[in-house]
Amino acid sequence: MSQTMATQAPKPLPVVSDRHVDPHSYPDGIAFLDGQYLPMSQAKISVLDWGFLHSDATYDTVHVWNGRFFRLDLHLDRFFGGLDKLRMTIPFDSQGVAEVLHNCVALSGHRAAYVEMLCTRGASPTFSRDPRQAINRFMAFAVPFGSVANAEQLRRGLRVAISDKVRIPPASIDPAIKNYHWLDLVRGLYDAYDRGADTALILDFNGNVAEGPGFNVFCVKHGKLSTPAVGVLPGITRRTVFDLCAEEGLVAAPANVGVAALREADEVFITSTAGGIMPVTEIDGAAVAGGTVGPITSRLMALYWQKHDDPEWSSPVSYPDRPADDQ
């Protein structure tokens, strides 16, 4: 190497005169991250976090309606179950997470909120490929309530298309672990949009109906309800339907639901924390229940929202302006 090259100074890095401005907008809300409560726009994670790089994370969502959490205990149980199965740890027990969630909602002021608790694998200080060296990261947030179905879709019923995309089998990922592995679901959504539908259902590994992007599905035939049994997330709203049916003397059970059986059902509805019980009145372009919301679906929808005021099913948020007992 010549003396000139050996003593040549390194090329200086370009000077950035202005700080990067985030071009995205965020919903109004409050997040909890690294021990602090922050506006949603300030809640950021590293690009080296395994949650971002590998979708290595688990989460759960609960909603607040009229200032009350709905079935929060069940969501917390499922979240901690996912943590245990993924060998993740957080510095909070169930009561501690509940307090964080309550604070996020109270500080946001939202009386109807979509609330999420999540944990990522985190990042390794040395960028190690060994997940045991990553520092797990817990966070939570509360934003305005959003539904899978909008007001018009709830009134007339959803138009659903059944995609041939196959859900990740339970032998690969335990469906009881709520996760962000959504590429199969997103591909199904685009199939549905291409066919003029509002949303999609995709198949399980046996060719039966599985679930949709963030929701379970039920069908009604001769007054009896069934919902896919395997390869699906055991949703809290799905469980709520079973509980409501038990109270109302309706028969509901998990079972294999074939594509033909769903298309020939008397009624169909989907269930999600983001929206509750939502009617389906069209599948693959053909009308369900004559294109109207069916009677059992309507009955369960009404009961579902009534339970939001029941203290055995819900718990009040203590907002800064008044105590929880006055909510």
137 and 168 together in one domain: no
CB 233 within 8 A of CB 176: yes
Q: Whose structure tokens read 């039966």?
A: 208
CB-based contacts of 54: which residues, under 8 Å, 6+ apart? 121
Residues 253 and 288 placed together within one structural domain of the fold:
yes
Query: Is residue 160 a contact partner of residue 283, using CB atoms and an 8 Å limit?
Result: yes
Domain boundary among 123, 144, 165: 144
Q: Are 185 and 300 within one domain?
A: yes
Q: What is the helix (H) or strand (E) element at residue 257, kind and residue range?
A: none
pLDDT of residue 5: 47
Report the Cα 263 to chain-centroid distance in Å: 26
Let me know if residue 8 belongs to a domain: no
Angle at 61 between CA 60 and CA 63, to 5 degrees: 155
The pLDDT score that the predictor gives to residue 23 is 78
Helical H segments across the chain, by residue range: 3-6, 50-53, 72-85, 94-108, 151-156, 183-194, 236-248, 259-263, 295-306
- Supply the pLDDT for residue 1: 47
Residues 182, 268 within the same domain: yes
Beta strand ranges found along the chain (DSSP E): 30-33, 36-39, 57-65, 68-70, 113-123, 135-144, 158-166, 199-203, 216-221, 224-228, 252-255, 267-272, 276-283, 286-287, 314-316
Of 89, 117, 144, the position where a domain reaches its end is 144
* Predicted structure pTM score: 0.91
Residues 119 and 180 in one domain: no
Residue 48, domain member (yes or no): yes
Q: How far apart are CA 103 and CA 107, in angstroms?
A: 6
In a domain, 129, yes or no: yes
pLDDT at residue 289, as a whole number: 84
Identify whether 316 is part of a domain: no
User: Cα(260)–Cα(112) distance, rounded to whole angstroms?
Assistant: 37
**290 assigned to some structural domain:** yes
pLDDT (0 to 100) of residue 7: 53
CA distance 272 to 305: 13
Q: Decide if 4 is inside a domain.
A: no
pLDDT for 21 equals 72
pLDDT by residue for the chain (327 residues), tens digit each? 444 445 566 666 665 555 567 778 899 999 999 999 999 999 999 999 999 999 999 999 999 999 999 999 999 999 999 999 999 999 999 999 999 999 999 999 999 999 999 999 999 999 999 999 999 999 999 999 999 999 999 999 999 999 999 999 999 999 999 999 999 999 999 999 999 999 999 999 999 999 999 999 999 999 999 999 999 999 999 999 999 999 999 999 999 999 999 999 999 999 999 999 999 999 999 999 899 999 999 999 999 999 999 999 999 999 987 655 554
Token pair recorded at residue 277? 């019980």
Q: Which of 144, 164, 190 is the last residue of a domain?
A: 144
Whether 298 and 178 share a structural domain? yes
Give residue 118's domain range. Answer: 30-144
Predicted pLDDT at 10: 64
Q: Same structural domain for residues 75 and 222?
A: no
Please check whether residues 42 and 139 belong to one and the same domain: yes
* Cα maximum dimension of the chain: 91
Q: What's the pLDDT at 22?
A: 77
Same domain, 288 and 161: yes
Query: Per the structure, how many domains does the chain have?
Result: 2
- Same domain, yes or no, for 182 and 127? no
Q: Looking at the structure, do residues 202 and 258 belong to the same domain, yes or no?
A: yes
CATH number at residue 121: 3.30.470.10
Q: What is the pLDDT of residue 3?
A: 47
Q: What is the pLDDT of residue 239?
A: 98
For 171, the token pair is 């032998």
- Partners of 227 in beta bridges: 254
Q: Which of 262, 212, 261 is nearest to 237 (CA)?
A: 212
Q: Are residues 202 and 254 in the same domain?
A: yes
Evaluate whether residue 325 is within a structural domain. no
User: C-alpha angle 279/285/290, rounded to 5°?
Assistant: 55
Between the CA of residue 92 and those of 87, 100, 117, what are the distances in Å?
15, 9, 12
Q: How far apart are CA 195 and CA 193, in angstroms?
A: 5
